[in-house]
């Protein structure tokens, strides 16, 4: 049961890290655009499934579609996502210059970081509730003793507290990253 808890909690941490990577913080990163959805030949797809994405320098993302006919679709999709990037269609590829961070933008991104961290903490609280209920049910059905229940409850709380500290640390690091760019 504790291994199952660990796995569930780790998924939340990994999700939070991937969400933080997608934030536009004044530095080029392929994760800013790779999962943007677009319409390709009547079907929904994401940019990374239709193009090579690279960062030729710290301030530019380059998108080279395998089929040059979808350049405009990629451009439209990036603009529609409204992530503060203005794509430039160069005929063969798209360049996405990353604008410098303004103080207003920094504050907005920090607010987003805190909101995402809070969502992760809520998910962790929900998982804690679920696992505590499972332990109580096992005790009620006499599958485990009261001592075992207390021991499992304590282990669950320790894991939860550890992951909450990890979220705080990741969030603080991201905030420092945003403020120092």
| End-of-domain residue from the set 38, 69, 97 | 97
Burial of 128 (0-12, 13-18, 19+ CB in 10 A): buried
Give the mean pLDDT of 55-84.
89
Q: What's the domain count of the chain?
A: 2
pLDDT band at 101 (very low <50, low <70, confident <90, very high): confident
pLDDT per position as a tens digit, 4-44: 988 999 999 999 988 887 776 667 788 888 888 998 888 99
Give the mean pLDDT of 51-63.
91
2-21 vs 146-179: helix crossing angle, rounded to 10:
10
Q: Is the pTM of this model over 0.85?
A: no
Look up the domain containing 155 and give its range.
Answer: 2-21+102-179
Measured CA to CA, the distance from residue 171 to residue 163 in angstroms comes to 12
Q: Is the dihedral of CA 107, 108, 113, 116 positive or negative?
A: positive
Together in a domain, 36 and 11: no
Together in a domain, 73 and 47: yes
What is the domain-level CATH number for residue 161?
A: 1.10.132.20
Residue 61 bridge partners (DSSP): 96
Together in a domain, 6 and 52: no
């Amino acid at each position: 049961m504790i291994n199952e808890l660990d796995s569930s909690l780790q998924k939340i941490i990994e999700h939070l890290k991937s969400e933080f990577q997608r934030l536009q913080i004044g530095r080029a990163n392929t994760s800013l655009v790779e999962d943007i959805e677009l319409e390709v030949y009547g079907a929904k797809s994401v940019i990374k499934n239709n193009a090579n994405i690279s960062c030729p320098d710290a301030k530019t993302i380059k998108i080279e579609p395998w089929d040059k006919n979808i350049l405009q679709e990629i451009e439209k999709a990036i603009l529609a996502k409204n992530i503060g990037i203005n794509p430039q269609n160069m005929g063969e590829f798209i360049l996405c210059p990353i604008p410098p961070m303004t103080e207003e933008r920094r504050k907005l991104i920090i607010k987003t970081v805190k909101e995402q961290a809070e969502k992760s903490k809520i998910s962790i609280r929900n998982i804690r509730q679920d696992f505590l209920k499972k332990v109580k049910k096992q005790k009620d059905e006499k599958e485990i003793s009261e001592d075992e229940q207390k021991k499992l409850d304590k282990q669950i709380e320790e894991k939860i507290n550890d992951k909450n500290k990890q979220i705080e640390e990741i969030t603080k690091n991201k905030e420092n990253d945003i403020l120092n760019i």
